[in-house]
Amino acid sequence: MRHSEDRSRRSRGKFGAAVVAFGVSLLLARYLWGLAVPELFPGAVAQGLVAASLSWGTAAKVALAAAAVALAFGRRARTGRHAPTP
C-alpha cells in the first residue's frame, strides 16, 4: 500500500470517528438536558424561562459548542501549554 493511500484511509477513519462522536454528543445533550434541567430549575421551566427539552437544532448547537471546547482543550494538552501550578 502506498503512503498516500494509507494517509487517506486514516483521514477517513478520523472523519468517521468525528461523525460518531458528534452523534453521541447530540443524543447526550438532548437526553441530559431533559433529565437534569427540569429537576434543577423547576420554577424556571414552569414559568417558561428555560426550555424543558431541547430541539434537535439546539442540541446540535450545544454539541458543536462542546466539540469546540474539547478541541481547544485537546490542542492545549497536546502542545504542553499548561498554566503553571503555584
Per-residue pLDDT tens over the stretch 47-83: 999 999 999 999 999 888 888 888 788 766 555 555 5
pTM across the whole model: 0.62
The answer to whether the CB of 63 falls within 8 A of the CB of 25 is yes
> Which of 4-8, 14-18, 34-38 shows the lowest mean pLDDT across its residues?
4-8
- Annotate the chain with DSSP letters as a single string: --HHHHHHHHHHHHHHHHHHHHHHHHHHHHHHHHHHHHHH-HHHHHHTSS-SS--HHHHHHHHHHHHHHHHHHHHHHHHT--PPP-
